[in-house]
Amino acid sequence: MQNRNVLISGAGIAGTALAYWLRRHGFRPTVVERASALREGGYKIDVRGAALDVISRAGVLDAVRAQRTDVQGGSIVNAAGKRVTTMDGDTFGGRAGHDAEILRGDLNRILYDLTVEGADGAADGVEYLFGDSIASATETAEGIEVVFDSGAQRVFDLLVGAAGLHSQTRALVFGPEERFLRDLGYYVSIYSVPNHLGLDRWELTYVSPRRTALTYSTAKDTGAKAMFLFASEPLEYERHDVSQQKKLLAEAYAGESWEVPRLLAALDEAPDFYFDSLSQAHLDHWSKGRTVLVGDSVYCASPASGQGTSLALVGAYVLAGELAAAGGDHRAGFAGYERAMRRFAEENQKLGPSNIKHMVLRTKRQISVQLTVLSLLGRLPGKERMMAKVMEPIQKAANSITLKDY
């Protein structure tokens, strides 16, 4: 088999899933990750549609379900904390059928454990290089010469960028991110907070004009998470300056009601603060020479889509499968991957701009109307059928690919 030695940049879900499938197909993947260890915990994510099939084919569907968040329901509250409307967990989270909700870190740990234990009975697992990253990558006739930040130098047959929206591999090989990212006009922040409201597998959401704040607890977390979504013109900040980002978040919610001040008060102690624009990645071509991109680095749909994890899982499965089907011929494998995935990626990316308009409302009138509709919906006969209609677009997008049996 040609091109067997593959370097994957990023040990997130796309990277670990790809490492598993490549190893299962007989490749020798190496994963380099800037963090010193696998990132644990994280926020809750959904696995649905074709991604559930991928998880099942990997043999870990039961393990994923065993780690479910078990969120029982959610309520929308007003400024005084009164629950205006309440729904069950699946309805509140936009899930249907067999959709699985799990903490991001728990899913990544399940996939990682598959790779270090060896794939498909293999005695040797995937090689991981934690605490390092790619400084340069130069393609030659024989492969890709990689220099790491640590100073180490190695040659690989193929390089895969799987390090997310701000992929360094994409910047090195394809060009600056400004050419590929589309800002949706919103920002998101997520971090751990004390569970001062005593939530038991429950979510509370507060909506004000241009700003949404929520907090939730899961079966896998003794504390809670806070999440903020707000509309904004592009903000100027340094991506690695956490203090600056915390200040921007506090300024965006200054003077806000409900529990927002207490949630913001936990900023300084948050060990897992995350802040970024809601943006999407759009590239005309997903590969260049011996380098290819997978996951958020190439078709990020934004957290508002609810499909980022599923896109990563399906993309990893398809990329590895197409390379295997092509006998390791990267030109044929990369082309097959893009043909199989592009429509699926585009259908799921459409969800982001549509969903965010319902998650962050612009005016008091919009808020009043939506809360009234949701309140009535919870009391009307046939509400399950109506909610299924509401969730139909995401389910359609999540199932808009037919997976090959590689």
pLDDT above 60 for 123: no
In this predicted structure, the answer to whether residue 122 has a pLDDT above a threshold of 50 is no
Measured N-to-C along each axis, helices 308-325 and 13-24 cross at an angle, to the nearest 10 degrees, of 20
Residue-level pLDDT at 188: 97
Rounded mean pLDDT of 277-305?
97
How many CB atoms within 10 Å of residue 156?
Answer: 21
Task: Please state the rounded mean pLDDT for residues 312-337.
Answer: 97
Q: Which of 12-21, 95-104, 133-142, 227-236 has the lowest mean pLDDT?
A: 95-104
Residue 143 has pLDDT above 50, yes or no: yes
Compute the Cα dihedral for 373, 375, 377, 379 and give only its sign: negative
Q: Where in the chain is the domain with CATH 3.50.50.60?
A: 5-67+100-180+281-352
Q: Does the structural domain 73-98+183-279 have CATH classification 3.40.50.2300? A: no
92-107 exposure pattern, b = at least 16 Cβ within 10 A, e = fewer: bbbbbeebbbbbbbbb
In the chain, residues under CATH classification 3.30.9.30 are 73-98+183-279
Q: Which of 98, 66, 35, 364 is nearest to 219 (CA)?
A: 66
For residues 131 and 321, give the distance between their C-alpha atoms in angstroms, rounded to a whole number: 29
pLDDT recorded at residue 377:
65
Residue appearing with tokens 């009164």: 82
Least Cα distance to 42 among 109, 88, 93, 96 occurs for: 109
DSSP code at position 99: -
User: How many residues are present in the chain?
Assistant: 406
pLDDT-derived band at 121 (thresholds 50, 70, 90) equals very low
> Which residues make Cβ contacts (< 8 Å) with residue 229, sequence separation at least 6?
186, 187, 188, 211, 212, 213, 278, 304, 356, 359, 360
pLDDT value of position 372? 80
> From CA 20, how far away is CA 144, in angstroms rounded?
22
- Indicate yes or no: pTM above 0.95: no
Closest CA to 143 of 322, 353, 42, 3: 3
Q: In the CATH hierarchy, which fold is given to the domain comprising 5-67+100-180+281-352?
A: FAD/NAD(P)-binding domain (3.50.50)
